[in-house]
Amino acid sequence: MVRILRVLLLCVVFSDSQAALLVFSSTEYQVGAQAAAGDNTDEHLDSSPPQPLALSTSAIAKVGVGNHGSASGLADDGVLIASAEAVSVGTDTLGFGGGSFLGTFNFGPGKLGLHFQFDTDGEVFGSGNARSDAKLAVTLVSNGETLYTENFESPNIVTTSFELRTNSTGSLNLVLVSVTSSSNASAFNSSKARFQLLVEPVPEPSCVLVMLITIPLVLALRRGSGRNLRTRDRLR
């Protein structure tokens, strides 16, 4: 009896699938930066592939004294970072930094978990006009169906999951930007997005079937054993 219970306990333990990081079939990261100060502009764009991670780019534009726009974008495995700055004392300035991720995957059946964290910080100074914004767009698709799509402009943490009943081909797309602009003022913005997909495969049915079959059998044998003991006691 004790041995059977031990077997059942092992079945429960090993049938409990553990969540793991999903391995994407393909990934593409992009980073971009654009800056302007009056008529002077600077912009750069890089992607991985072909460039290796970590991927980064920056731009800066200046005119006169005290007028500049700058921006940067950085991407690494599971993270996007953007920043922008605009400082103006006599002409309009602009900063735009950003990054994006597109990953495709094959998975299922099982539970697919989406987790990401969006952080942003921005400030404006001066008596003129200034703007500081950050945005994050997240879209998760499976077999042509949109499982999740949302746009964020303030810090947020999201953890959610989806039950995929069949084999699925899907994609995860994130776009992060930091934007600043100023006219006789100054503005700064930085933002970061960390993200991952987690997978929890459907447990193998073998142990579950063993438990369903064995538990009633053990209970029946136990009841039968109890009746036999009582019968022998009466015969004595």
As given in the structure block, the two tokens for residue 65 are: 């004294």
Contacts of 94 (CB under 8 A, 6+ apart): 34, 35, 36, 37, 69, 86, 180, 181, 182
* 74 within some domain: yes
Residue indicated by tokens 């009841």: 223
Specify whether 213 is located in the same domain as 157.
no
Give me the number of domains the chain comprises. Answer: 2
In this structure, the chain runs to a length of: 236
Long-range CB pairs of 217-221 (<8 Å, 24+ gap) are 218/1, 218/4, 218/5
Specify whether 108 is located in the same domain as 169.
yes
Specify whether 44 is located in the same domain as 100.
yes
**Prior bond to 82 cis, omega within 30?**
no
Task: Give the number of other CB atoms < 10 A from CB of residue 4.
Answer: 13
Specify whether 197 is located in the same domain as 210.
no
Q: Is the dihedral of CA 57, 61, 66, 71 positive or negative?
A: negative
* 12 within some domain: no
User: 149-208: per-residue pLDDT in tens?
Assistant: 999 999 999 999 999 989 999 999 999 999 999 999 999 999 999 999 999 765 555 544
Task: Give the number of other CB atoms < 10 A from CB of residue 87.
Answer: 22
Q: How far apart are CA 64 and CA 40, in angstroms?
A: 10
* 194 within some domain: yes
pLDDT of residue 108: 87
Specify whether 116 is located in the same domain as 221.
no
Specify whether 127 is located in the same domain as 46.
yes
Specify whether 146 is located in the same domain as 194.
yes
Specify whether 156 is located in the same domain as 196.
yes
pLDDT of residue 222: 59
* 86 within some domain: yes
Specify whether 215 is located in the same domain as 113.
no
Residue indicated by tokens 């029946």: 220
As given in the structure block, the two tokens for residue 23 are: 């391995």
Specify whether 227 is located in the same domain as 120.
no
pLDDT of residue 234: 55
* 14 within some domain: no
As given in the structure block, the two tokens for residue 160 are: 């959610």
Going across the sheet that includes 168-183, the strands are 40-48, 26-37, 93-107, 168-183, 129-142, 145-152
Q: How far apart are CA 141 and CA 151, in angstroms?
A: 15
Specify whether 127 is located in the same domain as 223.
no
* 13 within some domain: no
Q: In order along the chain (236 residues), what is the average pLDDT of each group of 10 residues? A: 48 55 96 98 98 97 96 98 97 98 95 97 96 98 97 98 94 98 98 95 52 54 55 54
As given in the structure block, the two tokens for residue 73 are: 């974008």
* 91 within some domain: yes
* 104 within some domain: yes
Specify whether 158 is located in the same domain as 197.
yes
Domain with 214, as residue range(s), is 2-7+206-235
CA distances from 83 to 39, 157, 190, 231 (A): 21, 20, 4, 84
